[in-house]
Amino acid sequence: MSKKDNIIKAATHLFATQGFEGTTTKEISVEADVTEPLLYYHYSGKDEIYTSILASIYKEYFSRLKELPKKTDTHFKKIENLCKFHFQLIKKMPDEMALIISKEPGKLDDPGNVYSKNSQSKNRRLKSYLSSCLKKGIQSGEFAKVSVNETASILLIMIDGILRLGPDWKNKLLDSTIELLRRSLIAK
């Protein structure tokens, strides 16, 4: 692993556990086992490290999201796969997922506003995906008639809530979440 990779890995963990404001470049350099001047050789400061991490995380997130199975037996299976996808990400990338759901630091010098732009894109994509599944499921008779927009919003909030719980809850909640959705959506 390169020194730059060490910086990113250390900073990701520190930002996820201590927050942006609670993390210093000195702490990042110590955790990464590099000197502070080397950190500044690669990055202009903490803001650039943070925005670089966010851009990388969202790129990975969207790439993995595209890999969700397009063809499934049911529309419910698509929603189930989306929930499982997020549970798996929590397990595989806990620090990264913590940063995705954290609030953007108020003082972040980010002219491209990486956090807001990607967070809004994530929410739009998920809501569109969920709305499509719900509409098609209602039309086919698989789902009970529900308000698509409101239900998609509730499911989106639920997914963000799952991400906030972190990896310790993964095994305890996956089956319960899927069962709750099944009972709430499947037509009787």
pTM of the model: 0.87
Average pLDDT over residues 60-70: 92
Name residues whose C-beta falls within 8 Å of residue 103's C-beta, 6 or more positions apart in sequence. none
Question: From the CB of residue 183, how many other CB atoms can be counted at a distance below 10 Å?
Answer: 9
Predicted local confidence at residue 146, as pLDDT: 95
Strand partners, 186: 143
Locate all alpha helices (DSSP H) within 93-113, ordered by sequence. 94-101
Whether 127 shows a pLDDT value over 90: the answer reads yes
Whether 105 shows a pLDDT value over 70: the answer reads no
The full set of domains in the chain, from first to last, is: 69-185 (1.10.357)
Question: From the CB of residue 146, how many other CB atoms can be counted at a distance below 10 Å?
Answer: 15
Whether 29 shows a pLDDT value over 80: the answer reads yes
